[in-house]
Structure 1
Amino acid sequence: MKKVIGWSLGIYLVFGLFIAWYLFLGANTDIPAQLKGSPADPQTFMNERELLLSEEYSKIKNLLFFLSVPFEWLIYTLVLVIGISAKFRDWSKVSAKFSILQTAIYLFWLSLLVEVLSFPLSWISYNVSKTYNITVQSTQSWMKDLLIDFWVNYALMILIVGVLFWLIRRNEKRWWFHAWLLSIPFSMFLMFVQPVIIDPLYNDFFPLTNKELETKILEMADRADIPADHVFEVNMSEKTNSLNAYVTGIGSNSRIVLWDTTLQRLNENEILFIMAHEMGHYVMKHIYIGIAGYLVLTLVGLFIISKFMSFMIRKWGHIFKISSVKDIAVLPVFLLLISVLSFVSDPVSNAVSRHQEKSADLYALEMTDDNKAAVSSFQELSKAGLSQVNPPFLVKIFRYGHPTMLERITYTNEFEKSEE
């Protein structure tokens, strides 16, 4: 046990030092010589202070990201090796008679422990964003969102974990396939209810108050054969200075949403370009392609997890005080493997997402025929979020679901509308 703990802490420390060296000293974020002085060069649209802050802020936030992911793995490893998971299982069995109540009790203690141990990094991340004036959310409001996250996730986990272990106990060899089959309607249900039930827990949504702008956006939607009665605005200015717009939900619950910070900072042409971009996602059915890709990855992931879980319990179950994959105490193994597989698959899913985002950009350029508004909107997004225009390679492949701002501004500036 001491060896496992020592090696885990040592590997995490070495990894952290390497990432810090890579982000602050090793990676090259300079603009290519041929793009110096172009609209993609941040020196043409940022002042010296913004340039300095964007580099500092991006490096710190990227470091926190790369530290937080393996830190989660470290937590689950220690919970297993020290025997905490087995102890929570024993508590749950003593505290309740029925299986679902035992699951709820076990999940509460595990979720609370992970939340408490993860809190310092979350707190640092929040304060960094506040220091650089990206986050303007009060501590009270931030803590409220954290509590909502905890209870929403806890409620969902009771349902998911309860069903998962019922399947494992019924069919130890093929539970992964049955779990995948059930995940399909469950995922669809969550995507359907998220815009109307989950999202409003965090923010206020309402139809766009600028009716003249809404009319123009709906005219664009009509030209693209998109059935839309409203564009939604969300009150984000109480929490952040960043800009965003997105498509969420499926079917009749689909929504195009604009942050109010975007409305305050961008001009009408820039907003229309962003809306055309979101319409591009709808027209090219990216949300359904994303669902299909998610389901394929889930199927493969659950199969891999089933094999690794059985192997890990056979090899180290005596250390974890877990004798079978049917034991609820094996859940940290499941969560650990999900996190690792998700991180490993990020470069692939992000690459697909970047391709879709570029397609949506090009669609918006075709629809608006306004390169100037597109370029200026990307420049404003960079300034508002203090994001690096040309991030390091590892940051791009693991964190960027959009093309880099260097790429977006360059191909947008060079775009020529195709002749019909």
Structure 2
Amino acid sequence: MSRKWASRTIILFLIFITAMYWYLFYGADTTIPRALKGTSADPAVFLNEREQEISMEYSKIRNFLFFLSTPYEWVVYIMMLLAGVPRFFERWAKASTNKSILQNGIFLFWISALTLLVTLPLNYIGYRLSRSYNISTQTFPSWMKDELIGFWVNFGLMWIVLTVLYWLIRKYHKKWWLYAWILSVPFTLFLMFIQPVVIDPLYNDFYPLKDKQLETKILQLASKADIPAEHVYEVNMSEKTNSMNAYVNGIGSNSRIVLWDTTLEKLSDNEILFIMAHEMGHYVEKHLYFGIAGYLALSFAGLWLASGIMEFLIRRWGRTFKISSVTNLASFPLFLLIISILLFLSSPISNYVARYEEMRADTYAIKMTKDKEAGIHSFQELTRSGLSEVNPPFLVKIFRYTHPTMLERIQMLENWEEKK
């Protein structure tokens, strides 16, 4: 039975990636609508032929890697289970110590280390791709350092999750998912609170914006929007990337307005103010809190579904997966597999909501700044620096895009006077 599962898994994986390769490289239509030819949304207007060609190449390969890596992760978990690797690590952990919390840590470390080892080649390909297309400026030692930091941060957080989750599963066999969701609410809010001041600085250096005149303009814009901000932070991303970004993150007293130094280098003050007005639009319209509510709603449904699916799979194919009960630590990779699939399947919904909120923030920015040209040029520069597709394939848009396409964003600004 295990061999049948393994062979079928590999066959389905190969069929899927072959179909996605054909779709992305040959089947999808990414041409600009005739009505928009020659407008500011047409990449031929603001990119030269070589830049257009590179952008199309990079986008296709990057999108293919996304659709390759997601099911690849599922294959890794399935093969682990079929080979009995989680059961072996669980026995090893129990033989090493009598303390359950340490058993959890030992088990999780080896599962996490094996997963990192198996997925590292694809991650490295993604890194080399961005380097070859001059998106990434990061050296290999720096990239590897970030990978290891990510490993240990995730390990620490997952150790807490694993320990609490399996304590609940053993104590409340039927309703563990509900209590897990209830505990996830304060845990999620706590992580969002500490992220700007604890987690983010592990990867990059943050410091107050050096351009004090620009900071004054941004804070004046924030004051106009009734946003309680005292500082604007700059982050040194130029040592890692040539792309641009700006964001507001955190909650409560730890919320921060952050600009990448690449954004400061490549955009004018008016364009930066438009970008910051967009970010302030998220704050004013309470998108952060809607996002938290949406995440908690999805996690409620996800945990409920995961509990039922786990029970069914273990009852039906427990021997095949080398799992005798959901209470076994060996069932954790199955839990991760189910959650990953559910997240992927729900991403079109969450991405649609995110794109709606981003368009609302764009609308807020143009209303606040009344500078259409600054908005259009900033989107054109974002496209150039990130080698983004202006009009991506449909499946790429619904599964990957948390922002409207550049075609939609620039077109909205072009039509602003008419809408107004």
Q: TM over 0.5, yes or no? A: yes
Task: Tell me the distance in 1 between the aligned counterparts of 2:137 and 2:373.
Answer: 30
**Residue matched to 2:200:** 199
Q: Distance in 1 between matches of 2:165 and 2:248?
A: 30
d(CA) in 1 for partners of 2:342 and 2:417? 40
**Residues 89-98 or 331-340, more deviating:** 89-98
Percentage of pairs with the same residue: 59
Equivalent residue for 1:363? Answer: 364
Q: Which residue of 2 aligns with 1:29?
A: 30
Determine the C-alpha separation between the residues in 1 that align with 2:278 and 2:156. 35
8 Å contact from structure 1 (residues 61, 125) kept in 2: yes
Contact 1:80 1:332 in 2 (8 A): yes
Matches within 5 A, 1:363-382: 363-382=364-383
2:416 alignment partner in structure 1: 415
User: What is the CA deviation profile of residues 67-107 of structure 1, one whole-angstrom value per residue up to 9, with x for unaligned ones?
Assistant: 00000000010111111111111111111111111110100
How do residues 264-413 of structure 1 correspond to structure 2 at under 5 angstroms? 264-413=265-414
Question: SS of the counterpart of 2:41?
Answer: coil
Is the CA contact (8 Å cut-off) linking 1:245 and 1:274 kept in structure 2?
Answer: yes
Q: Deviations over 1:89-128 (max 9, x none)?
A: 1111111111111110100110011000001100100000
> C-alpha distance in 2, partners of 1:100/1:229?
42
- The whole-number CA distance in structure 2 between the counterparts of 1:186 and 1:2 is 40
Amino acid in structure 2 at the alignment position of 1:108 = F
Q: Secondary structure at the match of 2:417?
A: coil
Shift of 1:320: 2.1
Per the alignment, in what secondary structure is the counterpart of residue 135 of structure 2? coil
Specify the SS of the correspondent of 1:416. helix
2:135 counterpart residue number: 134
Partner of 1:237: 238
In the alignment, the residues of structure 2 paired with residue 311 and residue 4 of structure 1 have an alpha-carbon distance, to the nearest angstrom, of: 16
Q: Deviations over 1:259-310 (max 9, x none)?
A: 0000000011100000000000000000000000000000000000000000
Q: CA deviation at 1:318?
A: 1.2
Deviation at 1:417, TM superposition (A): 8.8
CA distance in 1 between counterparts of 2:18 and 2:322 reads 33
Measured against aligned partners, the alpha-carbon deviations of 1:356-415 in whole angstroms (never above 9, x if no partner) come to 000000000000000000000000000000011000000000000000000000011111
**Structure 2 residue 176 is the aligned partner of structure 1 residue 150:** no
SS of structure 1 residue aligned to 2:259: strand
Question: Once superposed, which parts of structure 1, at least 4 consecutive aligned residues long, lie more than 4 Å away?
Answer: none
Displacement of 1:55 in angstroms is: 0.2
Q: In the alignment, which residue of structure 2 is the partner of 1:93?
A: 94
Counterpart of 1:115 in structure 2 is: 116
- Amino acid of the residue matched to residue 49 of structure 2? E
Q: Which residue of 1 aligns with 2:48?
A: 47
Aligned residues: 419
SS of match in other structure, 2:318:
helix
Partners in 2 of 1:88 and 1:364 — Cα distance? Answer: 53
Return the offset for 1:418: 8.0
CA contact (8 A) 1:129 1:135 kept: yes
* Kept in 2: contact 1:92–1:103 (CA 8 A): yes
TM score, norm. by length of structure 2: 0.99
Relative distance call for 1:36 and 1:417 in structure 2 (3 A) is closer
SS of the counterpart of 2:416? coil
Contact 1:86 1:320 (C-alpha < 8 Å) held by counterparts: no
Structure-to-structure mapping, 1:140-179, within 5 angstroms: 140-179=141-180
Q: Match of 2:68, as an amino acid?
A: L
Cα distance in 2 for partners of 1:334, 1:88 equals 16
Unaligned runs of 5+ in 1: none
Residues 369 and 417 of structure 1 are in contact (CA less than 8 Å); yes or no, is this contact kept in structure 2? no
Counterpart CA distance in 1 for 2:242 and 2:415 is 29
Q: TM-score, normalised by structure 1?
A: 0.99
Give the corresponding residue for 1:263: 264
CA contact (8 A) 1:366 1:418 kept: no
Residues in 2 aligned to 1:189 and 1:418: alpha-carbon distance in whole angstroms? 41
Alpha-carbon contact 1:108-1:154 (below 8 Å) kept: yes
Q: Given residue 352 of structure 2, which amino acid in structure 1 is its aligned partner?
A: A
- Cα pair 1:203 1:234 within 8 Å, conserved: yes
Q: Deviations over 1:164-192 (max 9, x none)?
A: 00000001100000000000000000000
Root-mean-square deviation over aligned CA pairs? 0.9
Measure the CA separation in 2 of the matches of 1:262 and 1:313: 50
Residue 56 of structure 1 corresponds to 57
Q: Secondary structure at the match of 2:91?
A: helix
Q: Equivalents in 1 of 2:321, 2:342: separation in Å? A: 21
Question: d(CA) in 2 for partners of 1:6 and 1:167?
Answer: 35
Aligned to 2:83: 82
Cα distance between partner residues in 2 of 1:157 and 1:211: 40
Q: Are the equivalent residues in 2 in contact too, given 1:244–1:259 (CA < 8 A)? A: yes
Kindly indicate whether the alpha-carbon contact (under 8 Å) linking 1:366 and 1:417 is maintained by their aligned counterparts in 2.
no
Q: CA deviation at 1:321?
A: 2.2
Provide, for residues 38-70 of structure 1, a one-character-per-residue CA deviation record: whole Å limited to 9, x for no partner.
000000000111000000000000000000000
Structure 2's unaligned 5+ residue stretches are none
Residue equivalent to 2:249: 248
Residue matched to 2:221: 220
